[in-house]
Chains A and B, each alone.
Chain A
Amino acid sequence: KQEVTQIPAALSVPEGENLVLNCSFTDSAIYNLQWFRQDPGKGLTSLLLIQSSQREQTSGRLNASLDKSSGRSTLYIAASQPGDSATYLCAVKGIQGAQKLVFGQGTRLTINP
């Protein structure tokens, strides 16, 4: 059974720092991995999708990497801003289990001005 873990559960950093969020998964047989952002009381906004054949994806100040063999992904946020404060979730779509996404518990990020 696929399990997804995100560490740390919460992170607080000063504005302007570069930071890395971690995501690990137990079964490397995946189609893709998706990073989401969730603001309090809101739905999920898709940030980046990395296919299993890819090593990384970039969008603006965000860069996500995927090492399928080791079961790890990282989300790198450059020059963090207070508006980046949110919960960040990663999810994998496994080869087993139709088109279901398996989610981590999220990292709650706070950027302090």
Chain B
Amino acid sequence: DGGITQSPKYLFRKEGQNVTLSCEQNLNHDAMYWYRQDPGQGLRLIYYSQIVNDFQKGDIAEGYSVSREKKESFPLTVTSAQKNPTAFYLCASSILGFDQPQHFGDGTRLSIL
């Protein structure tokens, strides 16, 4: 089955540590996105990528970094500069095109130890 796989499902970060969240898709989508969701709130865009080796900052990119070396993979690193990283992180992908829907993975919940 085609879909988006996020791993791990739960992740814990120590102070001063960088952690990387994985996102893989086998939908052959060109565009991929990372969102952050805080309790009782909607999603906010962190980074997005429309093509391999290119990505753009979203609304809340500070303290995060991404790479897009392969079409199917878009990992997100939460750096130690992100002072409030506890949240639910969702990865999405879509076909390029303004009329195309986004499809989401099952998310990674990040907590601070």
Contact = CB atoms under 8 A, between A and B. Distances in A.
Contact of B50 (A45, A93, A99, A101): A99
Given A43-B104, A105-B41, A99 B109 contact: no
Q: Size band of the A side of the interface?
A: 20 to 34
Point out which of A31, A34, A44, A93 has the most chain B C-beta atoms below 10 A from its C-beta: A44
B42 A99 contact: no
A103 interface: yes
B31 interface: yes
A104 B105 contact: no
Contact of B90 (A9, A43, A93): A43
Nearest to B97: A99
A32 B99 CA distance: 7
A34 B103 CA distance: 11
Interface in A89-113: 89, 91, 93, 95, 98-101, 103-106
A41 B42 contact: no
Contacts of A98: 48, 50, 56
Contact of B43 (A49, A95, A103): A103
A4 interface: yes
A43 B99 contact: no
B98 A101 contact: no
Interface string B79-113: 00000000010101010101101111111010000
Interface string B4-15: 101000000000
- Listed from nearest, the 3 A-B pairs whose CB atoms lie closest are A103-B42, A44-B104, A31-B98
28 contacts: A31-B98, A31-B99, A32-B98, A32-B99, A32-B101, A34-B102, A36-B104, A41-B88, A41-B107, A42-B106, A43-B105, A43-B107, A89-B42, A93-B98, A95-B98, A98-B48, A98-B50, A99-B96, A99-B98, A100-B45, A100-B58, A101-B43, A101-B102, A103-B42, A103-B43, A103-B44, A105-B42, A106-B42
